[in-house]
């Protein structure tokens, strides 16, 4: 069994399942907590039948008898009645991938008559010469569908592959994984995309080494790199070719033709370079190669993949112009769209084209209209509320006519009566304003809790403005009832029943 710790755990799980499926008796113990290292918990996790243990640690301790985890595992068994053979090894040095083949070599080392201790996997150790040899045959795992794409920096290959992963992840129930390796030069350098798809969660934590599909976007790579390395027998190879089916055989390297023939590879070619130029997108072969991938790979039905792309009636394109060249870019795009849509000369454009300034102006006009409508609705609401306040005050004047007469009889002036009723009207309107402000604050708080992206504090000036407007409504609509009360004749008021 193995006792790994760190990033190799998922790979070790895959290999244990693979070996057990072939009838071998292997296992692993995952170390999740280290130093403090629980020896008791570890011993309980190791089956009593475990006779040989390989401890994998992603570190190198110069001058030590073994790596830290291996030392602690040996110490855990010391003094017990269990004495398994324990060897230690290192993985992942120099940030190298740990592949299933390397884990298989660990189990093969354990099964040998004299297992190597302090071994290394992943790199060729030319100092201690304790690197474990890889199995003679590659480990082909049926974990899902794997693909590799060789492109050139800035040609859009990485973006297209990210989009492919999103399409499959969004439109199907499949799981997807993607990793992209860049050349140090990035733009103009080599980019290799590693994609995986499957019906089960993807456990692989290493690059794609045995793909089912390989796409080469740059034909010259066939001479410079081994793009077909690891491609499974019966796999698919897609090449962006400048030559047709009658010329391609004369330009393929001999090693490529040999590999295609010996492994029964399905070989497809497409002149994505020419197609991109015809569409007015020179150098942007990514979209054409992406469509070809869905067509020939068969990861998902081609028609399902097309659901991700809009139809001609609702196609939206976005373009960015260089600084100071917006007008030139606008006209260039307009002429390009007319050619692509085959619009006859003299006829108006059958498409819409807008700049950011035009879009902003439209948004501003829409926002202005919304503000005007809001002001109109608010004014209508204030008028209705003010009329309500005025009616309440008029009823109050009628019911308190005798009281008004008494106050005038004992010396109250018109000004005193006006102030009294205006104060009541302002108080009534102010209470309504405070209630409205409290309701608005509650709604704002609820919206912020339910939709954090729309959370916004209520500014103090808005609260003060709302209260002052409600007071102004009270004054405006309370003036007539107050003047009516002040102009009552004292004698007539005292006689009122």
DSSP secondary structure letters along 76-145: HHTTSS---EEEEEE--GGG----HHHHHHHHHHHHSSSPPSSEE-SS--TTT--BPPPPSS-----SSE
Print burial letters for 311-340: b (CB count within 10 Å at least 16), e (below 16): eeeeeeeeeeeeeeeeeeebeeeeeebbee
Nearest 10 degrees: CA dihedral of 58, 63, 65, 69? -30
**The dihedral sign for the CA sequence 387, 389, 390, 394:** positive
Which strands make up the sheet holding 175-182, listed edge to edge? 175-182, 190-198, 145-152, 213-216, 236-240, 266-270
CATH number for the domain whose boundaries are 145-309: 3.40.920.10
Where are the domain boundaries for CATH 3.40.50.920 in the chain? 2-120
**Helix 100-111 × helix 9-21 angle, to 10°:** 60
CATH number for the domain whose boundaries are 2-120: 3.40.50.920
Residue 28 contacts residue 2 (beta carbons within 8 Å): yes
Within 10 Å of residue 410's Cβ, how many Cβ atoms?
Answer: 8
Nearest 10 degrees: CA dihedral of 287, 290, 296, 299? -150
CA distance 216 to 241: 9
DSSP secondary structure letters along 399-437: HTHHHHHHHHHTT--HHHHHHHHHHHHHHHHHHHHHHHH
Residue 196 contacts residue 144 (beta carbons within 8 Å): yes
Where are the domain boundaries for CATH 3.40.920.10 in the chain? 145-309
Q: What is the pLDDT along the chain (497 residues), one digit of tens a residue?
A: 777 777 889 999 999 999 999 999 999 999 988 889 999 999 999 999 999 999 999 888 888 899 999 999 999 999 899 999 999 999 988 888 899 999 999 999 999 999 999 999 998 888 888 999 988 777 777 778 999 999 888 777 888 888 888 888 887 888 999 999 887 776 778 899 999 998 888 988 899 999 999 999 999 999 999 999 999 999 999 999 988 888 998 999 999 999 999 999 999 999 988 888 877 677 678 888 888 888 888 777 777 666 655 544 555 666 677 777 778 887 887 887 777 777 788 888 877 777 777 778 888 888 888 888 888 888 888 888 888 888 888 888 888 888 878 887 888 888 888 888 888 888 888 888 888 888 888 888 888 788 776 677 778 887 888 888 888 888 888 888 888 888 887 777 676 76
């Amino acid at each position: 069994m193995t006792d790994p710790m760190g990033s190799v755990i998922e790979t070790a799980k895959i290999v244990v399942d693979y070996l057990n499926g072939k009838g071998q008796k292997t296992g692993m113990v995952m170390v999740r907590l280290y130093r403090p290292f629980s020896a008791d918990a570890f011993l309980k996790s190791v089956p009593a039948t475990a006779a040989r243990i390989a401890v994998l640690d992603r570190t190198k301790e110069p001058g030590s008898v073994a790596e830290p985890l291996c030392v602690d595992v040996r110490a855990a068994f010391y003094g017990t009645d269990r004495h398994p053979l324990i060897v230690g090894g290192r993985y992942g040095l120099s940030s190298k991938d740990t592949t299933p083949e390397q884990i298989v070599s660990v189990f093969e080392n354990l099964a040998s008559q004299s297992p190597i201790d302090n071994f290394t996997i992943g790199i060729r150790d030319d100092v201690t010469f304790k690197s474990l040899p890889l199995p003679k045959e590659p480990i082909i795992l049926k974990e899902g569908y794997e693909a590799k794409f060789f492109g050139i920096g800035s040609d859009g290959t990485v973006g297209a592959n990210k989009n492919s992963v999103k399409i499959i992840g969004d439109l199907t129930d499949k799981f997807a994984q993607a990793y992209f390796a860049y050349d140090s030069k990035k733009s103009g350098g080599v980019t290799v995309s590693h994609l995986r798809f499957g019906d089960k969660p993807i456990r692989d934590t290493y690059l794609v080494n045995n793909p089912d599909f390989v796409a080469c976007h740059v034909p010259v790579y066939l001479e410079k790199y081994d793009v077909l390395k690891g491609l499974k027998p019966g796999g698919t190879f897609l090449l962006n070719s400048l030559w047709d089916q009658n010329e391609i055989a004369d330009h393929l390297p001999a090693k490529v033709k040999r590999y295609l023939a010996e492994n029964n590879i399905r070989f497809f070619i497409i002149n994505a370079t020419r197609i991109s130029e015809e569409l007015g997108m020179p150098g942007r072969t990514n979209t054409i190669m992406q469509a070809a991938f869905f067509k020939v790979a068969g990861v998902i039905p081609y028609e399902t993949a097309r659901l991700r792309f809009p139809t001609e009636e609702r196609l939206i394109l976005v373009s960015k112009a260089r600084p100071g060249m917006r007008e030139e870019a606008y006209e260039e795009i307009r002429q390009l769209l007319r050619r692509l849509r085959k619009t006859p000369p003299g006829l108006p454009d059958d498409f819409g084209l807008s700049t950011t300034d035009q879009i902003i102006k439209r948004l501003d006009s829409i926002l202005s209209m919304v503000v005007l409508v809001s002001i109109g609705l608010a004014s209508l609401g204030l008028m209705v509320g003010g009329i309500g306040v005025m009616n309440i005050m008029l009823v109050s004047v009628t019911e308190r006519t005798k009281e008004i007469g008494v106050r005038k009889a004992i010396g109250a002036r018109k000004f005193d009566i006006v102030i009294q009723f205006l104060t009541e009207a302002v108080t009534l309107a102010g209470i309504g304003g405070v209630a409205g402000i409290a309701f608005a604050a509650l709604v704002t708080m609820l919206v912020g809790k339910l939709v954090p992206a729309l959370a916004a504090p209520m500014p103090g000036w808005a609260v003060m403005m709302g209260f002052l407007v409600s007071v102004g409504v009270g004054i405006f609509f309370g003036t007539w009832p107050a003047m009516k009360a002040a102009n009552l004749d004292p004698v007539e008021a005292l006689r009122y029943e």
